[in-house]
Amino acid sequence: MTRAPVIGTYHLLHVYLRDRFANRVVLTFAEIEDLLGFDLPEAARLDCLWWQTPASDARSPQSDAWILANRTASVNLSAERVIFDRIAS
């Protein structure tokens, strides 16, 4: 059974990433928070696993935002920056 995508509170990040034509989008945590309209959870600032793209059966609402936009996420916690690369077709 295929799990329905859950974007929820991260929908605006998904839309932003989906609508960018560039193959690479770089956003700071502050820019992501501005898009979302709320602060990222503490785990996003402290734990690289929060930004991990998990197996399809263990996806999270935040990872759905970039996965469904056909992107991967690579975080640099000390720089508070995330690189979203387009997944090659």
For 3-57, what is each residue's pLDDT tens digit? Answer: 445 568 999 999 999 999 999 999 999 999 999 999 999 999 999 999 987 766 6
CATH number for the domain including 52?
1.10.10
pLDDT at 73 over 80: yes
pLDDT score, position 76: 98
For residue 54, being part of any structural domain is answered with yes
pLDDT score, position 59: 76
Structure confidence at residue 60 as a pLDDT band (50, 70, 90): confident
The residue type found at 48 is C
For residue 30, being part of any structural domain is answered with yes
For residue 71, being part of any structural domain is answered with yes
* Domain count along the chain: 1
The structure tokens listed for 64 are 């759905």
For residue 77, being part of any structural domain is answered with yes
Token pair 């820019």 is at which residue?
31
Q: Give all strands (DSSP E) within the chain, no chain letters.
A: 24-28, 71-76, 81-86
**Full domain range(s) for residue 17:** 8-86
DSSP, collapsed to helix, strand or coil, labels residue 14 as helix
For residue 1, being part of any structural domain is answered with no
C-beta atoms surrounding 33 within 10 Å: 15
